[in-house]
Chains A and B, each alone.
Chain A
Amino acid sequence: MAEPQGIYILAEINDTGSPSSLTLELLGLGKKLASDMGSRLSAILLGSDIPVAVQELARHGADEVLFLDDPGLARYNPEIHSEVMAGFLQTRPPLALLAGHTSMGQDLLPRLAFSLGYGLVTDCVSLKVEGGGVLFTRPIYGGNAMATQKANTATVMATVRARVGEAPQPSEAAGAVSALAVEMPAQSRLELKGREVLTARECPLEEAPVVVSGGRGMGGGEGFEQLRGLAGLLGGAVGASRPPVDSGWAPTTCQVGITGKVVAPDIYIAVAISGSTQHLSGMGEAGKIVAINKDPEAFIFKVSDYGVVGDWKQVLPAFTAALKELVQD
C-alpha cells in the first residue's frame, strides 16, 4: 500500500464553472494544514470541460491540481464518484482529505470512509494541527456541545462547513495542473433523473455574507417580500425558521436550523424569530446577530448582539429605509 502523503481538498464547482466559495475556503484551510505538517496541497477535481475551475484552483494556493476528467463525472453520481475517488485514493492516499459539508461532501465522504476504512469527522467548524495530527472541532447535540475529535487512521477525512476557512488571495504563480486518466466504473445502481431548481442560486444561503430570516411572527408569506428587500439591499439571502416553512410562507430551501441549513454569515438578522434551540443551532456561529421581536423575553435576545423590542411591521420598514440611505451615502 502506498504511503499517505500530502493534503487534499476536494473541489466543487458552481453553475458558472468556477470553484465554489467553500472550495476556495478549503484551499485556505488546506494550505495552512500543509504548511503546519510540512506537506503539499493538492486540489482534486472531478468533472469534465471546466478549464476555468482548474486554473482558478491552481491560482488559489494549490501546489497541484489533480483533474479527474471524464464526461461521466459532470454530474455527481454517488456510486460513480465514490468508486473513482476510492480508486484514486488507494493509489495516492493523502494524510488528510478535506471536503465541503455540502450535499456532495455529506454523501461522498461517508461512502469512502466505509469502503477504505478511513476515519471521517463531519461538519467541522475548526481544525488545527497538534502533535503531528489534525484535531477537528464539530458541534454535537445540535450545537449544545463542541467536540474536538481526531482520527486514528493513517489517512483522515473531514467535511467542513461553509465560512470556516478564508479563501487565499489569488496569485500569478499558479500550481501545476495534471489531468489524470480515469477508469470509469461500468455502471451505477443509482439512476439520476430530473433536477428541479426551486430557488435562484445567485446567492446561496450558506455562502451569503448577510442572512435576513423571518419566523413564526411574520404571520404570512407577504412579510417575506420585505425581508427580500432588506436582503437585496445588503447583498444577502433570505432565510426562515421552521414554522414559516411548515406553513408554506417560505420554501424548504430557505430553512435555517438543525433540520435545515446551517449558516454562519457576517450578519444574521432575525425578524420575528423567538430563538428555539433548533434554530440557534443553524445560525449561532454568525458574526453579528441582530434581532427584532415584539416579545422582550424572547430567547433570541440572549444570543444577539443588537436588538429592538417591537413589532416588525413597524420596526422593519423604518430600519430598511434608514439603512438604505446610509448604505447609499
Chain B
Amino acid sequence: MATTTTLSNGFISINDIINNFIISYTGPGKLIPDSKRTEVVFHARRCLQEFAYETLKSQFTKETTVGASAGGVSTLSIGGVGTGYTASTYNTTVTSGGSGTGLTVSLTVNGSGSILSATVVSAGSGYSSGDIIALTGGAGSNGTLSVASLVTPPPQPSQRPVSSDSLAVIGVKRSQTPNSVTFLEMTETLDRPPTTNLEYYIDYSVSPNVLEFNSSLNGFKLEYTYLSNYLTTSEEAAIPKLAEEALYSCIVYAILANRENTNPNLLQRLLIEKIDKLEKSKSRLVFTNFSE
C-alpha cells in the first residue's frame, strides 16, 4: 500500500483502487469487458475530484532535508558511471572529493555495476555547484558525481517547513535502507529543539506547518506524511476506505456512460447507485474524526 503506513487500516491508495477496479470490474463477461488502464486512471482521478473539497482528505508523503547547513547537496548528476558497484538500490556509498564533507548517496546500478542514478541520503555541508566527487566503494573503477544543485538553507537551524497544502502532519520517519526505518515521535514537552534524534516538535502557536528537529539530524533526509487539504492526481494519495465503494461506483458509471451501446436502464441504475454511495460516504466522512 502506497504511503499509507500510518493509517493503513483506514486508508487505501488511488493506485490500489485502480488495481482493484481493473481486477474486479473489468474483463470478459463483466459489465466493462474492454477497458484500458489509462481510461480507468483518468476516471479514477476525475471521480476523486467529484468528492467535495472538505469531505475527502488525502494523505501524502514527501521528503525533506533537516536543518541543512550551507553548501548541502540537493541533486547530483552522473559524471563517470564506474564499474563493480553492488547491485542494490540502497547501497550507501561514502564519497570523497569536492569542497565539502559528509555527503552520502544511494545508488541504483545496472547488471555490470555501473551507476544509473544517485540520490542524496545525507546532504553534507560546504559543497559548491559543479564540485566533482569520487565514489569510493566500487569493486572496479570509481564513478564520479557532479553537484548539480544545493539545498536551500532553512529559515532557522533544525527546522523544515512542510508542504503548503498540509492540514496536519501525521508521521515522520527516517529511512536509509528498507530494513532500517525509524519513526520519530512528536514530543509533547516544551523542549525546543527536541533533545533526542527520535523526536520532532510542532509549535502550533507559530505555525502547524513547521517541523523542528534535534540538531544531530542536520543534513539527513526525512519523510513526513501529512493530510492534504486539496485533491490530487497522485496515485500515492491515500483515500479513506469509507469512500472506496463510492469511487468504484463513480468509475463504473463514468466509463459506461462514455460507451455508445450502454443500456439506458442500466445507466440509470448505476447513476442512482453512484449518487447514493457518494452521499453515504460523505455523511460517514463528515462524522469521522481521523485524529482520534
A, B co-complexed: no
Contact surface of B with A, Cβ cutoff 8 Å: none
